[in-house]
Structures are given as C-alpha cells and as structure tokens.
Amino acid sequence: MAHIIPFKAIRAVRDKVHLVASRPYFTYKRNVLMAKLEDNPFTFLHIIHPEKPGEQTTEPNSTERFVHIKRKFEGFLNDGILVQDDEPHFYIYRQTHPTHVFTGIIAGASLDEYDCDRIKKHEATLTSREHLFTHYLDVTGFNAEPVLLAYPSNEEIRVLLEKCTLSRPEYEFTTTDYIKHELWLATSDQVNEITSSFAYINALYIADGHHRSASSSRLRKVRNEKNEHFGKNENFFLSFLIDEQQLNIVEFNRIVKGLNGYSMDEFLHKMSSIGTLTELTSAEKPSREHEITMYLQGKWYRIELNSDSFASMDPVGRLDAEILTREILTPILGINDLKTDNRIDFISGVEGLSNVKEAVDSKGFDVGFVLFPVTMDQVKAVADEHLIMPPKSTWVEPKLRSGLTIYNINE
C-alpha cells in the first residue's frame, strides 16, 4: 500500500497567494530575481533569499543563513501573510498549461516506504547536497517544495479527484508564464476516501526531487540517532502525487565544446560508424527511440543507431542518453564524466531546437545532440531494477511552486 497522510499546511492568505508562491529562486535570472525582491514584499523569495543584495551578512548555505531564513519565515507568519490550517487536509492542486493539465494531491508520503524502496528512485544523489539540505530542513523546520511522485493510473482515484474539483477552489490564479494554478482543500470524507484508495497502490515512483526526499530520510535518521523527536510529520515528507500518465517527460539535450581534435569530415565519419547518418534539410526532433538529431557547423543530421549498440542491454544500457555517452561522448569526444567535464552542457527540450542551434552558432559550443524523450515505462524499469539513470536524462513537468503549501516538519 501507499501510505499518505493529510497535514495542516502553512500557506498564504487567499488574497496574497499569487504574490507569495514563486518558482525556486535558482530558476530566475539574477536581474529578474532582484526585481522581484525589490517590487514584491510578499514573494516567498524573501524567505529563501532573506538578505537584500549588497547587504548580505551571512554566507550562503551556512547555519547563520538558515537561521535567517527561519526568522524571515516566522515574520511572514507574524504578519499574517502566511497562516496555518486548523485541520489536516489533502490539497488537490491543478496546473493548467496551454498544452497540458496536471491534477494531483499534495500530501505527506511515508519515509518508512521510502527507506524500504516502496517509493522507488532512479537517480543517484550527491552526498554533499543531501547533507546540506538535511541541515537546512533541521534548522528551518519546514519544507516548501514538494517531491513529485507518480502513481500507476487508478480509476477510483481519478473519479475522487474529479469530485474534489467540482467546487470553487480555495486558490485560483494565473502566473506570468501562462500557467493557471488551482487548489482545493479535501474534506474529511474525501481524505478518508483518498487514503483508502491509495491502499491499493503498490509502489510510488520519484519523478522529480530525489535530493529532497533523501534529505528528509536522512534528517529522520540523524534525529533518531540523537533521540530527538518532534512529531508525526517528521516520519513523512512533502509530496505531490500525480497519475503517471499525466506527467510530461521532456528530453535533456547535450551540447559539447570541441570535437576532440577531429575535423568535421573525420567526425562525421565516426558518426556514420555507429548508425545511419542522414543530412536533414531543416531542424527536426527525433521521431522515435534510438534516433538522435545532431547539429554541427550549421547543418542538422539524423543518426539512426545501430541495433547492436543497445541490444541485450539492461534498462539503463538501452536508454538513448546512455548510448550517446557510451558510443559518442566518451570514446569519440573524450568526455568521461558528464557531471564534472566543463566541455559539456545540457539544454532542456522545453527550450526548443533553436537553443541548441544558438549554443553551437554563437556560444562557443561545436556540436549539439537532441534525444528522444524517455518514457515513464523506462523510468519505472530502471527504478524497479534498482538502477540509476544517466545524469540529466529527464525534464519532468509539472514544475511546482515554492511556498504554495508549506510542511511543518516538527509538528
């Protein structure tokens, strides 16, 4: 079963939620971030970026900075910008994009199930980031960014969510990226029905948020070792649960500096040895798995990979991102570590082919590779085998807002 719990969210008062909820601060360009901090006194960015530009007195990611974040958070509570619900709820959240609609449940997900791998992972975490975020959670006492969890399609849950969203939402606002946000508070009867329905879900899959979930697990272990306990919430972590068929999984493309000493003709010859190479008359994304689009010196090419490059491989070995690394990036371009080599960078597929072209034409890169998106079935196959996907294999939507529903870890 999937054990999820309702919780008493700390959240913005209705008339200010559109001003409070924000994207994570690192997604903003510096000039945009500074403008938001200057012009909007209610944005959640003031909490996670609590010191004014030019007036910083603490080091980033230090205990002192985290204490400052906690004080700013408490200030928002004292000023009535944020309030806490009196009763625990599931929060039904819907994002409406021009091309997609995402509806799911904000809830606490079980750390017991995470630790015993009934909540399944497909990415490795960096120990340094895991420790850092664990310390952040411990000092601040809250989590404001849900982990994105996918569950297998379930008709009973779908019908329940439809019923929950028939009434007027508690929140309804649109952000400048043309995304409509709606939030409903599930009633106690709806909470019971949803809880019972999830008892039939055998496993959940992390779609986005591996470091956040790992850090929540580690925080509980650290507190257990110290015999420090605060409340029920520390046994769960803030999550947004969504039907796996609703996810929009987009590719992560690769751009590379240099051709490792090869001329263009030599490099194209190398490419033709790993698959059928065809010059394209215009930019085209791959139309299927095991097909890669390449941009090189003003021209677009299609590479249809030889079947022997992925036959008889495990679920990771069959992924196009892994094949690209194994057959091209490492042996031909000399890139051995995608995480540390400064010759390679990554561009989300949501940014389009034009960004790959621009990077090669005018930003110092020499070749770009465009991949076919990974499917949810591939993600699950990797997770079920306890394997790890290559870095930057997926860009998953929806991307959630910070500060929409805040989880009090110590309650």
**For 355-364, what is each residue's pLDDT tens digit?**
999 999 999 9
Residues 283 and 310 in one domain: yes
What is the number of structural domains in the chain?
A: 2
Sign of CA dihedral 7, 13, 15, 19: negative
Arithmetic mean of pLDDT over the chain: 95
For residues 63 and 13, what is the distance between their CA atoms, to the nearest angstrom? Answer: 29
Report pLDDT for 53.
65
Identify the bridge partners of residue 191 per DSSP, sorted by sequence position: none
pLDDT surpassing 70 at residue 338: yes
Report pLDDT for 86.
97
Residues 106 and 218 in one domain: yes
Residues 150 and 214 in one domain: yes
Non-local (6+) Cβ contacts of 20 within 8 A are 12, 42, 43, 44, 81, 82, 403
**For 133-152, what is each residue's pLDDT tens digit?**
999 999 999 999 999 999 99
What mean pLDDT is predicted for residues 287-295?
97
Q: Quick one: which of 69, 206, 62 has its CA closest to 135?
A: 62
What is the SS3 string spanning 210-265?
A: HHHHHHHHHHHHHHHHHCCCCCHHHHEEEEEEEEHHHCEEEEEEEEECCCCCCCHH
68: enclosing H helix or E strand:
helix 63-78
Residues 244 and 98 in one domain: yes
Residues 268 and 219 in one domain: no
Sign of CA dihedral 98, 100, 101, 106: negative
Q: Which amino acid is residue 364, in one-letter code? A: G
> Would you call 82 helix, strand, or coil by DSSP?
strand
Residues 195 and 268 in one domain: no
Write down the residue that tokens 């449940």 correspond to. Answer: 105
For residues 154 and 158, what is the distance between their CA atoms, to the nearest angstrom? Answer: 6
What mean pLDDT is predicted for residues 275-299?
96
Identify the bridge partners of residue 143 per DSSP, sorted by sequence position: 407
Residues 113 and 18 in one domain: yes
Residues 177 and 260 in one domain: no
Where residue 331 sits, what CATH number does that domain have? 3.30.1760.10
For residues 88 and 246, what is the distance between their CA atoms, to the nearest angstrom? Answer: 26
Q: Which amino acid is residue 319, in one-letter code? A: L
**For 143-182, what is each residue's pLDDT tens digit?**
999 999 999 999 999 999 999 999 999 999 999 999 999 9
pLDDT surpassing 80 at residue 312: no
- C-beta of residue 220 within 8 angstroms of C-beta of residue 395: no
Record the tokens describing residue 329, joined without a space: 């990036």
Kindly give the interhelix angle for 127-140 and 63-78, rounded to the nearest 10 degrees. Answer: 40
> Would you call 49 helix, strand, or coil by DSSP?
coil
Residues 258 and 148 in one domain: no
DSSP label at residue 7: B
Residues 188 and 271 in one domain: no
Counting runs of H as helices and runs of E as strands, what totals does the chain give? 13, 20
Residue 29 backbone phi and psi in degrees, to 5: -65, 150
Residues 232 and 96 in one domain: yes
- C-beta of residue 295 within 8 angstroms of C-beta of residue 357: yes
DSSP label at residue 137: H
Owning domain of residue 306: 250-394
Residues 227 and 340 in one domain: no
